[in-house]
Structure 1
Amino acid sequence: MTSTPSSSSEKKPAHEPQPIVITALDGFLLSGTLFLPPGPINTSAPKTKGPSSTTTPLSDLSVGATLKPEVDALTRVVIISSATATIQDFYYKFALYLSQELGMIVVTYDNRGVGRSMPGDETLAFMKAEIDNQKNTASGSGSTQTSTPPPLPPKPIISSPNKNSKPKKNPLIGFEATIVDWGTKDLPGVFSWVLEHYPHNPTIFTGHSVGGHLLPSLDSYYTRNLERVFFVAVTSAYWRHMNSPLFMYWFFYMASPVVNKHYGYYPGKTLWNSMEDLPKGCFETWSYWGSFSNYMLGGNPEWKPNFDLFRVPAYSIYFSDDDFSSFSAPYIMDLIPNTQRRCVGIDPVQDLNMKKVGHMGFFFNQCKQKLWKTVVQAWFVDGQGLDRETISERAKAGSSYARL
């Protein structure tokens, strides 16, 4: 697969991103988006070509060498797993770049309780019923079985002009969900969706912040097609590892519990205007993990066997101006000790001639020239994890001063 050259102007995608419904392991419905590349998409199952002599069995190495050209010709599938309190739409531009310019299939999604993955969402239920109906119709053709028609779509919500009417109750009040649910139910559901629709295609995982924390906890059943992993700002939120440890201690263990109790959920939009609202239990997981030096493995030690068994090559980048923790990414990488891994810290000013990247800025469109077309293309297309010096050389050669 080769990447297509990009133009300076934004082009309309050949395929409009389409909404999808992903079912978590416990049946909870998640909102997702599918980005398809232009041109042909190769999803064919690789065929093992036997040797000329049928009496000589193929060794494992021979099978791998024989299948490699066919596997390399398959279209890659990228899963983007969001940071805490971050909606999937935040990664829209990055997903478009991967699909339209690198020719990859991309799946984004909202974890339960975030964005469009709200409890009891009637739109998701309708979409799921319609999808199931189409499957039943296709599988039941020629049989005596009749498919159940999907329910009517939800009625539009019309605000009442009555000034005395009570405001709508936030759907997160009373909703039981934790970040552990994101890792043990939601993320396996996303991988299951990809395996169902693209069972033979190699997968690349992009984890931003907590999205990277959760991946190694998965059973290898779900990650069997995973080819490589890309971590962005996957740092530790152990309070002593944060840039302002005393503030984070106050934030995690003094102020936020009071806020959670008062609202019944964590009102990130109201308080910070840069976070999404979170289920109460998700924030409690975040702060609980933050009390351990080994972060998520301190909070969930039962995950350690899967972390030790994790074998997928991982490449992690982090930034010296990260607002939360600017140095702790290597601690997270040390928790997956038995895989090939590289962790690279980048100084935006010195290495990229950029004013700021921080914890979130990598996914801004301004990073396209200096990071996406260097770091991302090298790792996603060629499997090369660039070191800091090479990143700096390519970034400075490609463009002038930029500011996010």
Structure 2
Amino acid sequence: MTSTPSSPPKKPDYKPQPIVITALDGFLLSGTLYLPPGPINTSAPRAKGPSSTTPLSDLSVGATLKPEVDALTRVVIISSATATIQDFYYKFAFYLSQELGMIVVTYDNRGVGRSMPGDETLAFMKAEIDNNKNPASGSGSSHTSTPPPLPPKPTHSSSNKDTQPKKNPLIGFEATIVDWGTKDLPGVFSWVLKHYPHSPTIFTGHSVGGHLLPSLDSYYTRNLERVFFVSVNSAYWRNMNSPLFTYWFFFIASPLINKHYGYYPGKTLWNSMEDLPKGCFETWSYWASFRDYMLGGNPEWKLNFDLFRVPIYSIYFSDDDLSSTSAPSIMGAIPNTQRRCVGVDPVRDLNMKKVGHMGFFFNQCKQKLWKTVVQAWFVDGQGLDRETISERAKTESSYARL
């Protein structure tokens, strides 16, 4: 009698957990928590000093704690580009959590994606959290737990023919990109500090997500270990690849559109960006009028930029449609930290047709960029130069053909 070999058990479909993040002013933000498949170590590190009663110096304590700190599960915060929803980063977040074993938090800034004003679902989920019913607490719970239920849908009479079309929730909503930096992002860091108070944190900022980080008070970034910038360029209109078009876009056409709709209908008009609150687009265009970009628009941020000390690795691409050469100027605005800014030509260095402003987070970059640049920086703290990126991309390509 022959036995049929048993097929390996199927892995359960991974589902990240929805979370609710409270901004500093109480505004509710939609977030997502990605937990790794293996054990999660978020315990407080304990220094094992010598048996003598001689107190340890700060240097000795740091050296003693390092192995325990290195054993902790890292937390990655992904901060989105302007008018980009958190779901855009799903595959990248999935890679970080499931293949590199890190906890990942994504979120929508106010007025973008699922972080809309007066959202009943977020309020319902927040109530569930307050009642300790939400499994997505971020305290090392298993990711086999189920997300909280959705609130009951209101019943409407189908015979009511006088129902008015739904008003866009962004009309009349007061929000700016400065709010994203001074209220939303500190709220995200506070959420991480609350649930993972001992875990080293890695920050990934895409475009404006990187512009906002150095403006934060060091209170929120005290656990920040390193920073990764992707396409964090200046949108000063004269720096853009097409300055005349940019001038028309920021200062002539878009203000009229903003005024007409009461918000910026990016999804309707361009189908390549999300709708934005009116004030957020106004901040974007205001910053674009200054050579120093965000520091020209908000000079009060300069002190925190000067005080920022966390190492930064920044990568940008020569085919970026927005601004392919201005990333070094952003790094120059953060003068007092270790930093490396690397420009990559997708054709010459990666043998790829295009990466641009958004393409780094597409799955096509997994072999040539995620498994080289990201793994080196996130796991080993090594910022690769252009030549090394090119060589490792060739190696990954050869592996892909085997």
TM-score w.r.t. length of structure 2: 0.91
1:269, 1:156 → 2: CA distance?
A: 27
Out of 189, 192, 196, the residue aligned to residue 191 of structure 1 is 189
**Structure 1 equivalent of residue 44 of structure 2:** 45
**Structure 2 equivalent of residue 64 of structure 1:** 62
How do 1:179-328 and structure 2 match up within 5 A? 179-328=177-326
Superposed CA RMSD: 2.1
**Structure 2 equivalent of residue 85 of structure 1:** 83
Task: Spell out, residue by residue over 1:290-334, the C-alpha distance to the aligned partner (whole angstroms, 9 max, x if none).
Answer: 011110000001101100000000000000000100000000000
The residue type equivalent to 1:113 in the other structure is: G
Moved over 4 A (4+): 11-15, 156-164
The residue type equivalent to 2:42 in the other structure is: T
1:248, 1:161 → 2: CA distance?
A: 48
Q: Aligned residue pairs: how many?
A: 378
2:200 touches 2:224 (CA, 8 Å); kept in 1? yes
**Structure 1 equivalent of residue 369 of structure 2:** 371
Question: Do the aligned partners of residues 68 and 256 (structure 1) sit closer, same or farther apart at CA in structure 2, a change above 3 Å counting?
Answer: same
Give the 3-state SS of the residue equivalent to 2:131 in structure 1.
helix
**Structure 2 regions of 5+ residues with no counterpart?**
1-9, 135-147
**Structure 2 equivalent of residue 362 of structure 1:** 360
Question: Do the aligned partners of residues 315 and 12 (structure 1) sit closer, same or farther apart at CA in structure 2, a change above 3 Å counting?
Answer: farther
* 1:382 maps to 2:385: no
Task: Spell out, residue by residue over 1:169-198, the C-alpha distance to the aligned partner (whole angstroms, 9 max, x if none).
Answer: 000000000000000000000000000000
1:15 touches 1:38 (CA, 8 Å); kept in 2? no
The residue type equivalent to 2:109 in the other structure is: N
2:236 touches 2:291 (CA, 8 Å); kept in 1? yes
1:354 touches 1:401 (CA, 8 Å); kept in 2? no
Identical-pair percentage: 90
Give the 3-state SS of the residue equivalent to 1:399 in structure 2.
helix
2:121 touches 2:150 (CA, 8 Å); kept in 1? no
Task: Spell out, residue by residue over 1:356-385, the C-alpha distance to the aligned partner (whole angstroms, 9 max, x if none).
Answer: 000000000010000000000000000000
**Structure 2 equivalent of residue 22 of structure 1:** 21
The residue type equivalent to 1:243 in the other structure is: N
Question: Do the aligned partners of residues 121 and 247 (structure 1) sit closer, same or farther apart at CA in structure 2, a change above 3 Å counting?
Answer: same
**Structure 1 equivalent of residue 100 of structure 2:** 102
Task: Spell out, residue by residue over 1:253-310, the C-alpha distance to the aligned partner (whole angstroms, 9 max, x if none).
Answer: 0000000000000000111001000000000000000011110000001101100000
1:374 touches 1:394 (CA, 8 Å); kept in 2? yes
1:159, 1:262 → 2: CA distance?
A: 32
TM-score w.r.t. length of structure 1: 0.90
1:374 touches 1:391 (CA, 8 Å); kept in 2? yes
2:149, 2:316 → 1: CA distance?
A: 46
Q: Bigger CA drift: 188-197 or 393-402?
A: 393-402
Task: Spell out, residue by residue over 1:129-164, the C-alpha distance to the aligned partner (whole angstroms, 9 max, x if none).
Answer: 11101289xxxxxxxxxxxxx999242576957666
**Structure 1 regions of 5+ residues with no counterpart?**
1-10, 137-149
